[in-house]
Amino acid sequence: MNMKGRFTRIFELWNNRNTEYYKESFERLEKENKTTFNFAAAFFPITWMMFRKMYGWAVLLVLVTSGIHGVLPALCQNREERIISLVVFWLVLFIVFGSWGNTLYYKNIKSKIAKGYAEITNYNPIDPIGGIVIIGVIISILKWIISGILIAAKVSSSADDCVSPSLYVFFIAILWAINYKKCHAQESAEPVEVTEESVNKYLERANPKRLTVSLGVATVAYLISFLLLLSMMSVFAVAGMKATGDKIKQQLDKIAEEVDKTPNNSKKSVKIRTDNKTRKQLDETGKTNKRIIEKQKS
């Protein structure tokens, strides 16, 4: 078995395990009205929503989190309070999406099955993880570039805080639009009955082969982005050192100009004052020596 076949097999096993997990979780929801904790949704709620094609919820969460991050500095008096507030906020998100993520996903699946998504040709219920990773890489690169431009333009840091959420919303909207364009025309005109079999069929349609290709593309993208970030950091570092050197040179030139503009009279007066002081000291020393000699004679 070649490397690609091994990766495909790994993803097949992972996908089968994932599918069984959701089948058991949804069955428990139907029979006991209880859910199981979802660690993927708890640790990475936005990425998990994108991966499970819950684009609307992903956009909403991005807006909420960016809003909280924007409001906290105004509400908190110091840095420690802000850090504590952020920890509490993310802990709440961890508990909420870990505990009720499966419930949210189950409702999303049922709404799609009712529109006939379980029967749509070539429909994949998950977004290739590589695509999401690539989007993350692109967002990181663009954020570095835009942040650098804002710093160079001396724009306030509040504008920089809007860059990341804006980019996330933009790219999630692109994924959402692509998915809508592919599937909207194939949606069922009449509501489809949601059954246990249709839910299982929907889950089993995940294509692990696409994950293999996308993971390879994502790995290459990460390497390229890493090299790009290193080169960008080098450029910013050199530019910063050059700017600092130019600033120091300008300050030295300014000091030299001020010295050159100093009137000659002031320099002479300093010299004269210094000479007068020296003469006084010499006169006093001479008088003191004369008194000592007169005492010795007497």
Report which residue type is found at 51. F
Is 124 a residue whose pLDDT tops 50? yes
For the chain, give me the number of helices (H) and strands (E)? Answer: 11, 0
Query: CA-to-CA distance for 151 and 166, rounded, in angstroms?
Result: 18
The C-alpha torsion from 40 through 175 and 118 to 129, rounded to 10°, is -40
pLDDT tens for each residue of 45-88: 888 888 888 989 988 998 888 888 777 777 777 777 777 888 88
What is the tens place of the pLDDT at every residue in 199-226?
A: 888 888 876 665 555 555 555 655 665 6
Cα distance between residue 199 and residue 280, in whole Å: 108
| Residue written as token pair 């593309």 | 217
pLDDT at 110: 92
Give ∠ CA 101-107-112 in degrees, rounded to 5: 125
Burial of 113 (0-12, 13-18, 19+ CB in 10 A): buried
- Are residues 128 and 176 in contact, defined by beta-carbon separation less than 8 angstroms? no
Q: 277 vs 93, 116, 285, CA distance in Å? A: 79, 104, 12
Predicted pLDDT of residue 270: 45
Segment among 30-39, 109-118, 225-234 with least mean pLDDT: 225-234
Query: Would you place residue 103 in the very low, low, confident or very high pLDDT band (cuts 50, 70, 90)?
Result: very high
Q: 132, 124, 134: which is closest to 182 by C-alpha? A: 124
Go through 223-237 and write b for each residue having 16 or more CB atoms within 10 A of its CB, e for each that does not: eebeeeeeeeeeeee
pLDDT confidence bin for 285, thresholds 50/70/90? low
Structure tokens at 293: 């000699």
Q: Give the largest Cα separation in the chain, rounded.
A: 137
Report the pLDDT value the prediction gives residue 267, as an integer from 0 to 100: 47
Q: What is the mean pLDDT of the chain?
A: 75
